[in-house]
Chain A
Amino acid sequence: MFLRFKIFFLALFILALTACTPSVSEVPSTPVEEIPAASTDLSAIKIYLLAKEGELVTASLTLQDAAARYYSLAEVANFDYAALTTGQHAEVVEIVQDAQAAWRIASPRYEQIEGIVAGVPSLAEYDVILDAGASAEEDPEGATPFDLTLPDGRILPQPGNLFGVLEATLWGTDADFAALDILPDFDGNGVTDFGEAIPDANVLKAAADTFATYVADLQTASNAWQPTEADAFTALVVMIPTMTEYFDSWKNSRFVAGDASTQRDFVAISRLADIQDILGSLEVVYSGVQTLVATVNPIQADQIATDLTNLKTFVADVYAEEQTGKRFSPEEADLLGAEAQNRATALAGQIAQFAAQLNITVEE
């Protein structure tokens, strides 16, 4: 018994000695494959993504249906929008408002997953197509990859992201997508309010059909996606620090610049709402890897979660003020955007440090 104890003791002793040796294996030239000490459950991210996509698909089909009805109506009127507006006023108002309502449902659903879609390399192209890509006219380098073929045979080359095209069509912020020479009065108040517009039926149908198709494709791609830790960290590091971009959109939108704004997109819903939705999706992503981060530094892991929530709250507070009627000056918007960007950059920087310490590659 004594001998057995001694052997056992010696083995333990040797192991303890070697284990106490600094992690000398990590000589720079011979990288060691690190095995994360804690397992992560990323399935919640996918579940969240698919749930939101389910709602997005439903909204896209509703929008597609409204667009089809509007097209039929316009076709009967031989695409004479003046005649259509006067002759079928009630139907036009109903259908356009149905389509706008469907868009209003679809847009936040997408924003609630944009942090994931845009941040995951295998899904990111859908973000360009649906929400982020510019038109070829605006940015030839970052333009959307598709052309829009209209039912009448016209082709709109790389018209920009589909949410943007649909928004401009439904709210009448682009003369190519809506009959801006017609000034309808949907609510009978005697004036044409913002959002009271007569869409080009060809554009609306083509955009709504294409939109529904890509949304379905996104759902398929998401189903096939197997979330990895690298995906999660990449999404966080890539998407968190995009606050300036969103605040710039907000600053230049009619929510800040008012009627002086010439911005085509982001007119129906304040960009501040979008930012909150995006940050919400990133909270979901972070919750998937927080356990892993905590293996390196549990206090900072919690702090990041808190800071992420605080960033969302910061934006929510600004949004709440906006909802109560406050109109921020462009300089205030710039200052708020800089503050959000500073917080976001700090968060992304910290997360990138943990990714490096965990030997997880943040993809570029």
Chain B
Amino acid sequence: MKKLILLSVLLLAGILALPVRAATVSPAQTAETIRAALFDAQMAFSRDGHESAVQLAAAQTAYEDEFAATLASADPQADARIRAGFQTLEMALTVTDAPAFAAARAQVWTALLAGGTAVVEQATLSGDVPLAQTWLSVREYRTATRFSRPSADATLALTDLAAGTLTPEDAHLAVRADLLDTYQARLAQALRDLSAADASHFSVRRAELAALAEGYFAILAPVYEAQRGPDARLAAVNTFAALQTAALAGDDLTPMLAEVDVVLHDFRAAPLSPKEEARRAGQLLRYISLVPIEYGRGVVDGRVTRDFEIQEAITFQEGAQAAFDDLESLLAAQEPAQTQEVATHLTTLAHQLNATLSGTEIATPTEVKTTAEQATMRLEAIMPEAWTAQASTGDFDVITSLLDQLVAAVSTGDYEMAESSRLEAYAIMEVGPEAKLLVFAPQLNLTLEGLFWYGDDQQPGLGALIQARAPLNEIRATRTVLDGHLAEAQKTLSASTAPAAIASNAGVIVFREGLEAVLILASLLSSLRGVENVRLRRPLWVGSLGALLATGVTWLLVRGVLLTFARFGEKLEAVVSLIAIGVLLVITNWFFHKAYWMNWLAQFHARKRTLLNGEAGLWLGLAALGFTSVYREGFETVLFLQALVLEGGIKIVLVGLLVGLLATAVVGWITFRLQVNLPYKKMLIVTGVMIGVVLLVMVGNTVHILQVVGWLPIHTLPWLALPYWTGMWFGLFATWEGIGLQIIAAVFVVGSYYLVEGQKGRRKARTVSPLSPSSPPPHPLAPHDILPGMPKFNSIQEIFDLAPDYFLPENADGVEGSVQFEFSGEGGGAWFLQVNGPQLTVAPGHLSAHDMYASASAQDTLDIANGNLNPMTAYFKGKLNVLGDTSKIFAFQKVFRLPEQLAWLKSIK
């Protein structure tokens, strides 16, 4: 019985596993199996009917096993066409009708493509990226030609969708555009091939190609209907059906192909992506601007002096017309009247040029220029900002295309045409990117200009090479160099920063914020030493760990929010950069405005005291304290790093993050584990200065981005020639706006420092004056010069003996705190000082818990007390270490009157 059950289970498992095994065959493989089997069936059709039947059965089985269920659900019409196609195939095989067999084969294949498209579109919209990616391979591609490559837009859109940088709707738009564009191209190819097959009287091929055309149109038909209405769609479908009927009947296809041409006239299935729209807009404006330039070169004193210049002007006019045709419906939807005006101007322009070429009427260059300018003026008024802002991308595309033409012309020995292409490419450079390059990378601009013209000793320019009728390989060599510099120019104008600079900035910020977190934690933990305080330390650590977790979650949330705005590209980067600058200003203020820092710490300590004094919620309270003290730094870091991620990508920022975290970990290890005091003050100063530099770089880059997206004007500094790398590394660009705002940022930070310090000095002066009206002006480094004859302290004991005399119990209400002193070397020892309201305790020895911990050598302490050593210098040099709740210094200032002998300390900053 057990064996029977086991056998049943195994059998069941085997049955259940069948679909799993089947699923390992990708849709692409299945599609290829079907396609190949049907082709083999057709090849075997006339010579081996049995083989043909076997192949047909294999195709049907593959469809039923792998595709039928999915396609019937995603696109029932496609499924129906496939099934009908298989029936026709069987019938054609039975009656040995080769054309019908070929047509049905095409019907099955194109319906498969339609079904695959439906699956991909639905999966993309629902965010099922794996399904969409798997089925996207059931597609065809545009045939690569000399001037075009297969598009990868759909593939990349799904990659972006998976990465979260595209919404399902945007990804769907891109996928749809790619597939529709492909199938429209395939439709056009099928019709061309059909025409050739018709001319050659290939009956089987005619039938197959007509069916292919009908099948491709079936994929495009919904778009056709959306654009032209259901009646037009029906008429179009009928036209294609009639074409196929004629092909199967062996009729002359010429009239039917003409009808198809009419049906497809001006039909564009694929919507233009925003990028393509901007590119077309760039081409449109550029080509129109080039028309009068070319025309002006070809017409002098009412005579045509250079025919080819007029021909080139016509070429650009036609290019502009084609670009306008693509954009016309979009423009007309917004501004129908002005769009019509543009159309009229372009028609006038075409008329002027053609009349000149034919010699019937020669327009003056001014007339042509006026027409072109009127068209441009109208276009600039009605074009969306997004199109004109990204026009430089179109410029580089056009330049590349023209350089391709140049090389092609040289390869055929047509140097005149090559020179013409060179001039045009340079003209586009001149009126487009050059203006910005002059600002952001003037040296690069010079290099580019040289390569377009005469070059230098190392690399001859294209102008010189063409003039000398140089061989193709030399032209190609210069072209390669030029391409590299053009790519560099494009990169410069897209506001990129050197990856190493981005990583460094990230590292500095992370280390700085990490250092602050370490110091806050060290301060909080300093009074909780000893085994007996483990229970109090633990919640602080737990809270800190929680803060790190929360920081990670915050990162994800912030990224998620930003990703929803990713489509705004550089504009998003500009906004986030502004936020980052705000964060940096806060950070720099935190460094320079020590008072804020102290207040912040004081708040933490006040909360800690309250918690320690209370009984309820102690653990949670301390955990919350640890959390808030670290999370604040984490939150700042997350905000700042977003700008860097947008600018340089997550991998580069991760490198900086890792370095910053490691440095923080080292400091944390030394502080918490080894219990060694580091020169924190120095470290804060160094990192503060570094952050100041980061701030200036960030300001420079942000201004650059704002100028690139057109949110800030550009005013150059002609007398300031900055090398290209200063922009990449330091955000230094020779514009008034960039340099000016960087100076303002520097003045703001440094100025605020002096402002705050000045206020502190005045506050101290007011505090000192009642005690020492005749106290000398501040002079921190030479107290003996200020107070000659001041009595000296000879021992630590003498210093502490003074303490009760200067204690002000009337001010000590509510003040609590303790300091543990450790003096090393000869005359050293441990002392503590404890204030508990009006109660002061000063004695040698140790406290079990303390708020502050100070250590120094006995000699250095005496030197400080006697004015022979600046305590701040001692602190900076690490001779004097203070840890713990330094906010007590402020509380103690209120309850201690400074001994006259030490009054000079108040002047120290």
Given contacts A7-B669, A24-B562, A349-B150, contact A13 B412 (CB under 8 A): no
Q: Does any Cβ of A come within 8 Å of B318's Cβ? A: no
B155 touches A353 (CB 8 A): yes
Q: Which of A14, A35, A221, A338 contacts B193 (CB 8 A)?
A: A338
Q: Does any Cβ of B come within 8 Å of A331's Cβ? A: yes
A331 to B471, CA, bound (A): 42
Q: Which of A6, A32, A241 contacts B144 (CB 8 A)?
A: A241
Q: Which residues of B contact A241 (CB under 8 A)?
A: 143-144
Q: Does any Cβ of B come within 8 Å of A335's Cβ? A: yes
Nearest CB to that of A236 among chain B residues?
A: B144
Q: Which residues of A contact B569 (CB under 8 A)?
A: 27-30
B141 touches A348 (CB 8 A): yes
- Number of A-B residue pairs with CB-CB distance less than 8 Å in the complex they form: 214
Within 8 A of A (CB), among B543-573: 545, 548-549, 551-553, 555-556, 559, 562-563, 566-567, 569-570, 572-573
B555 touches A18 (CB 8 A): yes
Q: Which residues of A contact B164 (CB under 8 A)?
A: 22, 24
The interface bits of chain A over 4-19 (1 if a CB of B lies within 8 angstroms of the residue's CB, else 0) are 1011101101110111
Q: How many residues of A contact B (CB 8 A)?
A: 66
Q: Which residues of B contact A362 (CB under 8 A)?
A: 149
A141 to B146, CA, bound (A): 13
How distant is A121 from chain B, measured CB to nearest CB, in Å? 7
Binds B, one of A52-60, A277-285, A339-347: A339-347
Q: Which residues of A contact B26 (CB under 8 A)?
A: 299-300, 303
Q: Which residues of A contact B143 (CB under 8 A)?
A: 241, 341, 345
A125 touches B200 (CB 8 A): no
A18 to B556, CA, bound (A): 8
Q: Does any Cβ of A come within 8 Å of B156's Cβ? A: yes
Q: Does any Cβ of B come within 8 Å of A26's Cβ? A: yes
How distant is A61 from chain B, measured CB to nearest CB, in Å? 22
A29 touches B653 (CB 8 A): no
The interface bits of chain A over 320-364 (1 if a CB of B lies within 8 angstroms of the residue's CB, else 0) are 000000000011001100110110011011101101110000101
Q: Which residues of B contact A342 (CB under 8 A)?
A: 35, 140
How distant is A126 from chain B, measured CB to nearest CB, in Å? 9
A238 touches B650 (CB 8 A): no
Q: Which residues of A contact B548 (CB under 8 A)?
A: 10, 13-14
Nearest CB to that of B479 among chain A residues?
A: A121
B149 touches A32 (CB 8 A): no
How distant is A337 from chain B, measured CB to nearest CB, in Å? 10
A23 to B400, CA, bound (A): 30
Nearest CB to that of A158 among chain B residues?
A: B413
Within 8 A of A (CB), among B155-198: 155-156, 159-160, 162-165, 193, 197
Q: Which residues of A contact B32 (CB under 8 A)?
A: 307, 346
B205 touches A335 (CB 8 A): yes
A291 to B545, CA, bound (A): 42
B648 touches A32 (CB 8 A): yes
Give the interface residue-count category, chain B: 35 or more
Q: Does any Cβ of A come within 8 Å of B202's Cβ? A: yes
How distant is A22 from chain B, measured CB to nearest CB, in Å? 4
Interface SS majority for chain A: helix
A122 touches B476 (CB 8 A): yes
Q: Which residues of B contact A33 (CB under 8 A)?
A: 499, 649
A142 to B631, CA, bound (A): 67
Q: Which residues of B contact A143 (CB under 8 A)?
A: 412-413
Q: Which residues of A contact B155 (CB under 8 A)?
A: 353, 356-357
Given contacts A13-B549, A125-B472, A300-B137, contact A26 B411 (CB under 8 A): no
B144 touches A345 (CB 8 A): yes
Q: Which residues of B contact A338 (CB under 8 A)?
A: 193, 205
Q: Which of B404, B412, B556, B653 contacts A364 (CB 8 A)?
A: B404
Q: Which residues of A contact B499 (CB under 8 A)?
A: 33
Given contacts A14-B552, A22-B163, A303-B29, contact A3 B496 (CB under 8 A): no
Binds A, one of B213-221, B654-662, B769-777: B654-662
Q: Does any Cβ of A come within 8 Å of B28's Cβ? A: yes
A125 touches B411 (CB 8 A): yes
A350 touches B649 (CB 8 A): no
B137 touches A350 (CB 8 A): yes
Q: Does any Cβ of B come within 8 Å of A42's Cβ? A: no
Q: Which residues of A contact B193 (CB under 8 A)?
A: 338
Q: Does any Cβ of A come within 8 Å of B651's Cβ? A: yes
Q: Does any Cβ of B come within 8 Å of A289's Cβ? A: no
A348 to B182, CA, bound (A): 14
A33 to B668, CA, bound (A): 34
Q: Which residues of B contact A303 (CB under 8 A)?
A: 26, 28-29
Q: Which of A7, A15, A330 contacts B654 (CB 8 A)?
A: A15
The interface bits of chain A over 266-303 (1 if a CB of B lies within 8 angstroms of the residue's CB, else 0) are 00000000000000000000000000000000011001
A237 touches B149 (CB 8 A): yes
A25 touches B205 (CB 8 A): no
Q: Does any Cβ of B come within 8 Å of A140's Cβ? A: yes
A91 to B140, CA, bound (A): 56
A121 touches B665 (CB 8 A): no
B160 touches A26 (CB 8 A): yes
B669 touches A3 (CB 8 A): yes
Q: Which residues of A contact B67 (CB under 8 A)?
A: none
Q: Does any Cβ of B come within 8 Å of A166's Cβ? A: no
Q: Which residues of A contact B152 (CB under 8 A)?
A: 352-353, 355-357
A300 to B28, CA, bound (A): 9
Q: Does any Cβ of A come within 8 Å of B613's Cβ? A: no
How distant is A28 from chain B, measured CB to nearest CB, in Å? 6
A30 touches B141 (CB 8 A): no
Q: Which residues of A contact B763 (CB under 8 A)?
A: none
Nearest CB to that of B197 among chain A residues?
A: A334
Q: Does any Cβ of B come within 8 Å of A215's Cβ? A: no
Q: Which residues of A contact B648 (CB under 8 A)?
A: 25, 30, 32
The interface bits of chain B over 495-535 (1 if a CB of A lies within 8 angstroms of the residue's CB, else 0) are 11001000000000000000000000000000000000000
Most buried by B among A8, A221, A237, A364: A364
Q: Which residues of A contact B559 (CB under 8 A)?
A: 21-22, 24
Q: Which residues of A contact B160 (CB under 8 A)?
A: 26, 28
Most buried by B among A17, A307, A353: A353
How distant is B636 from chain A, measured CB to nearest CB, in Å? 15
Q: Does any Cβ of B come within 8 Å of A128's Cβ? A: yes
How distant is B669 from chain A, measured CB to nearest CB, in Å? 6
Q: Which residues of A contact B665 (CB under 8 A)?
A: 7-8, 10-11
A145 touches B205 (CB 8 A): no
Nearest CB to that of A332 among chain B residues?
A: B43
Q: Does any Cβ of A come within 8 Å of B646's Cβ? A: yes
How distant is A319 from chain B, measured CB to nearest CB, in Å? 15
Q: Which of B413, B551, B556 contacts A14 (CB 8 A)?
A: B551
Q: Which residues of B contact A345 (CB under 8 A)?
A: 140-144, 150
Q: Which residues of B contact A357 (CB under 8 A)?
A: 152, 155-156, 159
A237 touches B412 (CB 8 A): no
List residues of chain A with CB under 8 Å of any chain B CB.
3-4, 6-8, 10-11, 13-15, 17-19, 21-33, 35, 121-122, 125, 128, 140-143, 145, 158, 221, 237-238, 240-241, 299-300, 303, 307, 330-331, 334-335, 338-339, 341-342, 345-346, 348-350, 352-353, 355-357, 362, 364
What 9 A-B pairs are tightest by C-beta distance, nearest first? A29-B569, A349-B141, A25-B649, A356-B152, A32-B649, A17-B552, A25-B650, A22-B164, A352-B150
A-B residue pairs in contact (CB < 8 Å), sample of 30: A3-B673, A7-B668, A19-B654, A21-B556, A25-B645, A27-B566, A28-B160, A28-B567, A30-B495, A30-B496, A32-B651, A125-B473, A125-B476, A141-B412, A142-B412, A237-B150, A240-B144, A300-B28, A303-B28, A330-B200, A330-B202, A331-B202, A335-B205, A339-B39, A342-B35, A345-B150, A346-B141, A352-B152, A353-B150, A364-B147
List residues of chain B with CB under 8 Å of any chain A CB.
26, 28-29, 32, 35, 39, 42-43, 137, 139-144, 146-152, 155-156, 159-160, 162-165, 193, 197, 200, 202-205, 208, 275, 400, 404, 408, 410-413, 471-473, 476, 480, 494-496, 499, 541, 545, 548-549, 551-553, 555-556, 559, 562-563, 566-567, 569-570, 572-573, 645-654, 657-658, 661-662, 665, 668-669, 672-673
